[in-house]
Structure 1
Amino acid sequence: MPSPLGDKLRALRQQKKLSLEQLAELTDSSKSYIWELENRDDPNPSADKISKLAAALDVTTEFLLSHTTATPDAEVVDEAFFRKYKTMPENTKKQIRKILDAWDDDE
């Protein structure tokens, strides 16, 4: 029987229309390792692996490790975005800010 983590991983992976192999590539894992995380009773991934999975699935590590529902709420999605934003190159951040400014001008 899958764990809450396994259920979340599977649901998020399917929402993003990722195969096991695609998620494995995004997280420097093997396809069989992702399958085990989704299907084993008590998976025990490293903190680094949880972090890579959360980034690939656009959620927080806290969400993956919590015992909440399998669907992240807006707060989790926003927090994941801001964490990703912080690691972006300055040029990319500048482009995103320009896009947001353009949307503000439309209102």
Structure 2
Amino acid sequence: MTTSLGAKIKRHRKEKGYSLDKLAELTDSSKSYLWELENRDTRKPSGEKLTRIAQALEVTTDYLLDDSEEPSDEVLKEAFFRKFSKLDPEDQQKINQMIDMWGKKD
């Protein structure tokens, strides 16, 4: 099944509990621009705008542009790593310690 850019934006926006106003604020866009992206396939966002939308929705630009319905494991990992890399080093270390502890449960 194929899914359009607008349908993906709308679905992920709603999953995050964001209104159009909130997503517009997070992406430095207008509410009307985002509404058009979600509801009309005529708008094509710039690379910069698409990147901001992907970051706010915690997905990748590749996923948004791909016609696949669900993000692949690689897309999810990339989105997680992007989020992880923005954390303070101390928080990154805590997460690494948790991962190490989980790995020792065997």
Give the equivalent residue in structure 2 for 1:53: 53
Counterpart residue type for residue 85 of structure 1: F
1:93 is aligned to 2:92: yes
TM-score by length of 2: 0.82
Give the equivalent residue in structure 1 for 2:67: 67
Counterpart residue type for residue 81 of structure 1: F
Question: What is the number of residues matched between the two proteins?
Answer: 104
Counterpart residue type for residue 28 of structure 2: D
Q: Which runs of 4+ in 1 moved over 3 A?
A: 101-107
Measure the CA separation in 2 of the matches of 1:85 and 1:49.
22
Cα displacement string for residues 1-55 of structure 1 (whole angstroms, at most 9, x for unaligned residues)? xx81101101111122211111111111121111111112221111111111111
SS in 1 for 2:83: helix
Give the equivalent residue in structure 2 for 1:31: 31
SS in 2 for 1:67: coil
Instruction: Output aligned runs, 1:14-25, within 5 Å.
Output: 14-25=14-25
Cα displacement string for residues 44-101 of structure 1 (whole angstroms, at most 9, x for unaligned residues)? 11111111111111111100011111x3233321111112222333233123223323
Measure the CA separation in 1 of the matches of 2:51 and 2:94.
26
Counterpart residue type for residue 11 of structure 1: R
Give the equivalent residue in structure 1 for 2:6: 6
Measure the CA separation in 2 of the matches of 1:7 and 1:23.
15
